[in-house]
Chains A and B, each alone.
Chain A
Amino acid sequence: MVSFIPVLLLIVIVAGLAAVMLAMTTWLGPKRTNPDKELPFETGNLPTPGGAHERFPIHFYLVAILFVVFDVEIAFLYPWAVQFRQLGMFGLIEMLVFLFILMVGWLYIIRRGVIGWR
């Protein structure tokens, strides 16, 4: 139990620091608002018109999902590349099988036209 005291201390310091920073910006920071600043932040775009129940195309959702797939691919490729010599032929074949399976999915995406932006 005693060995966890540094962790506890760290938690206290982190929470305290965050609280102090938030409090200081709230109390000390100047507040000059204009209508642009009051808009919801949508990464530079104008906010979605209408209420939250508005229907809107979600093409970007598919692209975002695909990004996750390729992210996972990198997550597997990177440690394999680091350990390439130790894993040897077994690792190479294993990675080729993995890439083949992933490429079938990639081909599927292309043929279904998910990447083409309409």
Chain B
Amino acid sequence: MTFNPSDLWAVAPEMVVLAVALAVILIELLATRREGVLQGVAAVGLLAVMAVAVWSLGRPTGAFNGMVARDGLTVFVKLLLAGVALLAVLMSRDYLMGLDKSAPTGVREEVKGNPPLPPPAIAGGEAGVRHGEYYALLLLATCGMMVLASATNLVTLFLGIETMSLALYVLAGIRPERPRSGEAALKYFLLGAFSTGFLLYGMALIYGTTGGQTNLSMISKAVADLGDGAPVMLFAGVGLLMVGLLFKVAAVPFHFWSPDVYQGAPTPVTAFMSVGPKAAALMAFIRLFGWALPDLADVWGPALWMVAAATMTIGNIVAIAQRDIKRMLAYSSIAHAGYLLIGVLAAGSPGVRSAATASMLFYLVAYFLMNIGAFTIAILVSRARPDGDYQIDDYQGLGASHPYLSAAMALFMISLAGIPPTAGFFGKLYLFSAGVNAGLVTLVVIAVLNSVISVYYYLRIVVYMLMRPQPSPVEVRISPAMTAVVLVCVVGVIKFGVLPGSMMDWARSGAENMAQPTPQVVVDVNDPSQIRQSDR
């Protein structure tokens, strides 16, 4: 196996993210611990990542002997992921500073019977967030997502999932003095470890039944060769793999971790987690099920159909009952994962594969903008409360005291509900029409009915803000960074809601410009003549 230096272009964005993460750690250790500097380095670094990602765009091809793809789809998703990370970095500073000022919140939720926990006994320093490691972990998680989104081999897929997950486990628990944060991290870690087990077992079964293939195109070929004689073990492998990935996108019935983790994790991390891993895991879904295993659509299609229907229905119905806006947005994000699974199902039918992928990309962009925007405003409103809680009741009468903020929140809610003229509407339109073209009419009807249900709980916040007399005015202070984040989201949601054409064209060209690399060198380990003398 030879090394080709141009292969490095395929992972150039990942390399830059990694370099920026290391730089952030080193700056904190050696130069300064001022958060502004660390945040600035992370933000500028992410802009550089985006530039490199655009620059790395080229003829669709593979790299590292078919381990990763270098194509338009990958670049599109990498840009999206860098954007998610950038906005998460920008909204983090005020959040972490705001918490540092407020008193410890652990007392209220103390477990009975145990003495209060002492401050975490991490050697060498005071409790609290080291900002350097916070931003570094955010960047490392982004790196893992990028690897996951460009993986064309089961091994790189696993590597990406683990890099992403390990960083996210720590990020969920980065406020060790708050019991909820620790609970979130522990739940996420334990359940995530189980789901990794499922994923690996599925990979092992696929490896075994396809004659030792890990490259996705080679698996596709092997499955086609097996034809009707495919063993049950292969179906079991595909099913287990699906469980592992569905856990990462928080689809029903593998969603139980997500409301607790979303509620317990620091809110910028929650915003990041609700978009980034979903986008990356769905790209892995598309490559695996849409491109590599369409021959088995009879097997995974019905299962995924049921999961998609259950995900959007349960997500939307349970969201109605929530009084905490973070939990409500968690269930709403479960419901949106259900809508997005329609795209994966549609990609399984060869005729609409590119169109379905493009509509998913557009939907992810729209969801990214409106969801990050909603979380940013949730942070701002919660910080106005002395206990930093996230009650939906806090939004009562917000329209009178903070008209611009309320208008932005109303826009995000309308977009999440999928009402025109917003990006959310066109996202749903493209996604559902791809579903109809793929013949998934019943599922699309279920999805449309679900959108109607979701209008209730999204618009409840708008009603609270604009149509309720104000009981107690909350004083919301907005910093420049937060203003920038909200503005980017507002402009994006309106722009792609009024003129969706340009973004859809990019998404389409990204989806059509897709590589399915195969390994050039295939060594058959059972054939002694293929092993070089020097390797013996």
A75 at the interface (CB under 8 A from B): no
Whether B534 pairs with A86 at a CB distance below 8 angstroms is: yes
Whether A112 pairs with B26 at a CB distance below 8 angstroms is: no
Q: Smallest CB-CB separation from A88: which chain B residue?
A: B3
B525 at the interface (CB under 8 A from A): no
Q: Bound complex: CA of A108 vs CA of B124, how far in Å?
A: 11
Given contacts A86-B534, A108-B29, are A113 and B22 in contact (CB under 8 A)? no
A-B contact count (CB 8 A): 30
Q: Smallest CB-CB separation from A112: which chain B residue?
A: B124
Q: Smallest CB-CB separation from A118: which chain B residue?
A: B123
Whether B123 pairs with A107 at a CB distance below 8 angstroms is: no
A57 at the interface (CB under 8 A from B): yes
Whether B125 pairs with A108 at a CB distance below 8 angstroms is: no
Whether B123 pairs with A101 at a CB distance below 8 angstroms is: no
Whether B25 pairs with A104 at a CB distance below 8 angstroms is: yes
Chain B proximity of A16: nearest CB distance (Å): 30
Name the A residues within 8 Å of B26 (CB-CB): 104, 107
Q: Give the total of B residues in contact with A, Cβ under 8 Å.
A: 14
A51 at the interface (CB under 8 A from B): no
Q: Bound complex: CA of A82 vs CA of B67, how far in Å?
A: 25
Whether A114 pairs with B123 at a CB distance below 8 angstroms is: yes
Name the A residues within 8 Å of B321 (CB-CB): none
> By CB atoms of chain A within 10 A, which of B29, B30, B125 has the most?
B29
Name the A residues within 8 Å of B124 (CB-CB): 111-114, 116
A62 at the interface (CB under 8 A from B): yes
Whether B121 pairs with A104 at a CB distance below 8 angstroms is: no
A90 at the interface (CB under 8 A from B): yes
Which of B107-140 touch A at CB < 8 Å? 121-125, 133
Whether A57 pairs with B121 at a CB distance below 8 angstroms is: yes
Chain A 97-118 interface 0/1 with B at a Cβ cutoff of 8 Å (1 = within) = 0000100100110011110101
Q: Bound complex: CA of A107 vs CA of B26, how far in Å?
A: 8
Given contacts A90-B3, A101-B22, are A111 and B121 in contact (CB under 8 A)? no
Q: Bound complex: CA of A118 vs CA of B30, how far in Å?
A: 23
Chain A proximity of B279: nearest CB distance (Å): 26
Name the B residues within 8 Å of A118 (CB-CB): 123
Which of B384-440 touch A at CB < 8 Å? none
Name the B residues within 8 Å of A107 (CB-CB): 26, 29-30
Name the B residues within 8 Å of A62 (CB-CB): 123
Whether A59 pairs with B123 at a CB distance below 8 angstroms is: yes
Name the B residues within 8 Å of A108 (CB-CB): 25, 29, 133
Which of A53-97 touch B at CB < 8 Å? 57, 59, 62, 86, 90
Q: Smallest CB-CB separation from A104: which chain B residue?
A: B22
Name the A residues within 8 Å of B18 (CB-CB): 101
Chain A proximity of B322: nearest CB distance (Å): 35
Q: Bound complex: CA of A90 vs CA of B22, how far in Å?
A: 22
Name the B residues within 8 Å of A86 (CB-CB): 534
Q: Bound complex: CA of A107 vs CA of B27, how far in Å?
A: 12
Q: Bound complex: CA of A90 vs CA of B29, how far in Å?
A: 30
Q: Bound complex: CA of A108 vs CA of B30, how far in Å?
A: 10
Which of B1-58 touch A at CB < 8 Å? 3, 18, 22, 25-26, 29-30
Chain B proximity of A80: nearest CB distance (Å): 14
Q: Smallest CB-CB separation from B21: which chain A residue?
A: A104
Q: Bound complex: CA of A5 vs CA of B419, how far in Å?
A: 67
Whether A112 pairs with B25 at a CB distance below 8 angstroms is: no
Whether B22 pairs with A112 at a CB distance below 8 angstroms is: no
Whether A112 pairs with B3 at a CB distance below 8 angstroms is: no
Chain A proximity of B435: nearest CB distance (Å): 44
Whether A112 pairs with B123 at a CB distance below 8 angstroms is: yes
Name the A residues within 8 Å of B25 (CB-CB): 104, 108
Closest 3 CB pairs of A and B: A113-B124, A111-B29, A112-B124
A-B contact pairs, 30 of them (CB 8 A): A57-B121, A59-B123, A62-B123, A86-B534, A90-B3, A101-B18, A101-B22, A104-B22, A104-B25, A104-B26, A107-B26, A107-B29, A107-B30, A108-B25, A108-B29, A108-B133, A111-B29, A111-B124, A112-B122, A112-B123, A112-B124, A112-B125, A113-B123, A113-B124, A113-B125, A114-B123, A114-B124, A116-B123, A116-B124, A118-B123
